[in-house]
Structures are given as structure tokens and as C-alpha cells.
Amino acid sequence: MASKLFQPLKIGKAKLSNRLAMAPLTRFRADDEHVQLPFVKDYYSQRSSVPGTLIITEATPISARAGGYNNVPGIYTDAQIKAWKEIVDSVHAKGGVIYMQLWALGRTADPSALKKDGYELCSSSDIPMSDNSPKPRPLTEDEIQILIKDYANAAKNAIDGAGFDGVEIHGANGYLIDQFTQDTCNKREDRWGGSVENRTRFALEVTKAVVDAVGADKTGIRLSPWSPFQGMKMDDPVPTFTHLVNGLNEHRLAYLHLVESRIQGNADVESTEKIDFAVDAWGKTSPILIAGGFRTDSAYRAADEEYADKDVVIVFGRYFISNPDLVYRVKQKIPLADYDRDTFYAAKSEKGYTDYPFSEEFQKESKL
């Protein structure tokens, strides 16, 4: 029987030819004004080599106040939007589907990078990311409202300005939305903190604003309930994230994107830290994207066995860096090329970015 990985699927109004997607991957290939450099177009175009593949862009700050990393792209100036439009057009020319991941960094930002734009390090509370990290200032009510509007404006810039098929709200990995959601960071005593309802309010208000701006069928969200990255991971994330997923479900979003917990060498942890609770809470509302260190064999297993009764899309990250024809390789069971970690974050460099080769088989078939 043919694998579900290569059955068509709709994400919102976009039609996919397969159920493999490229994860959002920060690569630092923008200029000092947060405008993508010209060769970024080639990178995304290469990875759209199989028509009907879903590409999720690197995380992209929604405004200068939400940023705080050098050489990451933005979506809040005309020059940034124009550069993204060229990238989107190149992906669409290959028959690809592309969503932009919308990002606010919060306490994980570099204070010196923020200071250049006249902003301070802020978060839900004044809890630093780690013992050695700078202490953020809690956001005021007015600032929270401004950021919610920034998300909506960024979504409009992405879709109306740059032509993206949709946007993904970055609610994972210890960035600003996660800093509100999780009690490891959020110590507020107002309507944005304390109870599960209050801590999930920011994620839900951002989602509502984005949906109102561009439509639910063009909006997804990414969550990582079990990730300890950047000072996260509650003692028991299940009640909080179940409440959040239930609230998100009311919007009938294009998809829910979940990051699996893949902890090596501890069978007990692996068996208990499952995303099943979130998958079950989402139900059959819309497809679920799942990221979690997949390889070819585990991708087939996830689609055809573990989640056989669900519409899941398997998300590849690092291997999509080193395999521009990843979807073709997975389908043909061609071994995946290894990646070079040293060039993941080489700012402004084409090395380790657009120079990974396509497989010989793909080149012969497509006559590249």
C-alpha cells in the first residue's frame, strides 16, 4: 500500500502533493537592516524542488521591538517585504506552498541588538532565561497590546504584501508567547499571569488578532509543550497546553504544529512525554504538523503507523538544510546527506546554505 506521506492534503486553501514539510530554521542570512540577501531566494527555491511541498520560513520578527538578533529577516519595512516577495514568487514558480513564521523573541533577545533600535529587553516577567542571562523588564499592558497589533500587521504584510500562502505563529521554544504560557517564566499577577486561563491569554489574543487580520485558513501555530529549551518546561505542561489547544481549536486554524519530545537514552521519559494529549485535544479540526528529529524510516512510521488515523505532516529541519531534494529522497528511499553544523548560523554566507547538492537521481530525472 502506498504511504500516506505521498497522499495529497489541504492546508487551509493550499493543496499539498505530499505530507513532508520544511521546518522553520534560523540561518542569519539577512543584511544589517534585516532584509534577506539575494541568495536566500535560491535557498528556498531549491527546497521547493518537489511541487506541492510546504515550506515554513525561518522565524521572522514582527517588528523591531519584537526582534533582538542581528541578521535575521524582518517583515515590517518596505524593503523587507519586497525581498520576501521575490522569495515567495520563486517558491510559487516551483509549485511550492510557503508560510511565514511570525516571531517575537522576548527575554531571549540580545540586549545590544535591541538597543540599536531603541528598545529594552522585555518579557512576561523579570525572570532571566538562565543564571547568566540579563534580566528582562516585564511588559506593560500598553506594550502587550502594541505587540498583539504587531502580530496582526506582520501577518498582513506577509500575506497581502509579500504573497505568502499563510503565517505560522511561533508559540514554541521559549520565545515570547511561550514566556507568557509557561509558569517557569510567567510570574505576573494581572490578567496575563497566574491561572492557566491568564497565562494562555497572550497566545490566544495573538491568534485572534492574526485570524481577524488574514483569516483562520491562512493561520497556523507552533507549540513545544515538553521542550526545556531556553529555560522552559513546566513540571506538568499537560493542563496548560490542553487548555491552550482547546482555545486555539475554536478558531479552526489551518494547522497545529507540535514539537515532539525526543530525549535520547531514557525510555521512561520517552514513554511519558508524549504530544498525544495535544493531538487528541486538537482532534480532526485540521492537519497536525509534527517535528521531532525525523529521518526517512521514522517519517514513514509516524505517518503510516503512529498517526495512521490522523492527517499529519512530518516536519524535517536539519536534513532539509543538507538535502534540497529531501522530499524526493524520502520518496525514493535515497540516503539523506549529512549536514554541517558549523555553517548553520554563518551570517550572510552562502557557504553551507545554497551549495548542498541535489542527488544524482534527482538531477537525472529533472535534468538540472
Q: Where in the sequence numbering do the catalytic residues fall?
A: 175
In sequence order, the β-bridge partners of residue 22 are 55, 316
DSSP annotation of 24: P
Distance CA 157, CA 149 (A): 12
Query: For residue 246, what is the DSSP state?
Result: H
> Which residues, at least 6 apart from 230, have a Cβ–Cβ distance to it below 8 Å?
108, 129, 173, 174, 175
CA distance 221 to 282: 12
Indicate left, alpha or beta for 47 from its phi (over 0: left) and psi (-120 to 50: alpha).
alpha
Beta bridge partners of 290: 258, 314
Nearest of 151, 114, 18, 32 to residue 80 by alpha carbon? 32
